[in-house]
Amino acid sequence: MVTTVTGQGTAAPAGTSPPRAAALPPPQLDVRGVTLQYKTKEHLVTATYRVDFQVYKSDRYVLLGPSGCGKSTLLKAVGGYMMPEEGEIHLNGKPVTRPGPDRMMVFQEFDQLLPWKTVKENVMFPMLAARKGSARAVAAKAMHYIEKVNLTKFADHHPHLLSGGMKQRVAIARAMAMEPEVLLMDEPYAALDALTRRKMQDELLQLWDDTHFTVLFVTHSIAEAIKCGSRILLLSPHPGQVKAELASVPRTEQDSAAAKELETRIHDMLFSDVVEDTEVHHG
């Protein structure tokens, strides 16, 4: 049994899980008892086992765990690409049965853009497909989000002219321009160099300060989870089960002893039965 903690904005001490106030609104995303399996001709792979978590509006909710613990599979299920074997997923009270524009995904790979379209056209593409407004309104919104990820100068460039970090910015702008209920991010910075990665994390937090979007973020990096997350769900190794849910440290205290302590605590919880490392192995 995992105790839930209060969402963004409450000053819970790092790593503690006080009970939620009684008057809290229902969760935006509700994942209950979710078992996910892959069935092939020869094998049955159980990726996650009876996973529970609730994401509230404006949470920066992080799924953290070792490679193969089912983080990407959970995200796919929330995205509606995969149905649970057991359990249920609800978004705003409605069961998730298929993909939809209310859940936009950003992947780790740099090749998620359409190479024959410009940056601006890439950002416009899902909005046009979902009939989000007139071509003019869609173009204006695209430019608005392109500016937010600092790529205005590159709006008319094609993806092959951009660095990996810039391509990720486009993918983030494209997803955010859809203004989804929940933004799904599957290790979006894992393939970037350390400096770019840090810059992109700061940028994401700045974007969050602007719009307070709800994000479900997958990572195998403890440091990234603490920096980017408001709440962190720790998953056990394969098949993924919930080990604990923790509140991260406030943004202003990222360099504090409390942050270090939380990092050590998460490390110990994740590796209580496995190898020593500063990061969970790549997933």
Count of residues of this chain found to bind ligand ADP when the rule CB under 6 A is applied: 14
Indicate whether 57 belongs to the interface with ligand ADP (CB under 6 A).
no
Of ligand ADP, Mg ion, none, which one sits near residue 272, judging by CB under 5 to 8 A according to partner kind?
none
Indicate whether 28 belongs to the interface with Mg ion (CB under 5 A).
no
Structure tokens at 229: 């997350």
Indicate whether 38 belongs to the interface with ligand ADP (CB under 6 A).
yes
Cα gap 146→261, rounded to integer Å: 37
* Run of H or E including 52: strand 44-55
With contacts defined by CB under 6 A, name the span among 9-17, 37-45, 121-129, 190-198 that binds ligand ADP: 37-45
Indicate whether 79 belongs to the interface with ligand ADP (CB under 6 A).
no
Question: Rounded to whole angstroms, what are the CA distances from 48 to 84, 90, 190, 241?
Answer: 9, 17, 22, 6
Instruction: Give the residue ranges of DSSP H helices in the chain.
Output: 71-79, 119-129, 135-148, 164-177, 194-211, 222-228, 257-270
Indicate whether 238 belongs to the interface with ligand ADP (CB under 6 A).
yes
Whole-number minimum distance, CB 53 to ligand ADP, in Å? 15
Among 52, 57, 68, 205, binds ligand ADP (CB under 6 A): 68
Cα gap 146→256, rounded to integer Å: 33
Indicate whether 165 belongs to the interface with ligand ADP (CB under 6 A).
no
Indicate whether 70 belongs to the interface with ligand ADP (CB under 6 A).
yes
Whole-number minimum distance, CB 71 to Mg ion, in Å? 5
Among 72, 118, 122, 168, binds Mg ion (CB under 5 A): 72
Q: What are the helix and strand counts (H, E) for the chain? A: 7, 10
Residue (75 or 259) nearer to ligand ADP, CB = 75
Indicate whether 243 belongs to the interface with ligand ADP (CB under 6 A).
no
CA 14, 215, 7, 55 torsion-angle sign: negative
Among 2, 4, 20, 45, binds ligand ADP (CB under 6 A): 45
Q: What is the dihedral of CA 211, 213, 218, 223, to 10 degrees?
A: 40
Binding site for ligand ADP (CB under 6 A): 38, 40, 45, 47, 65, 67-73, 238, 283
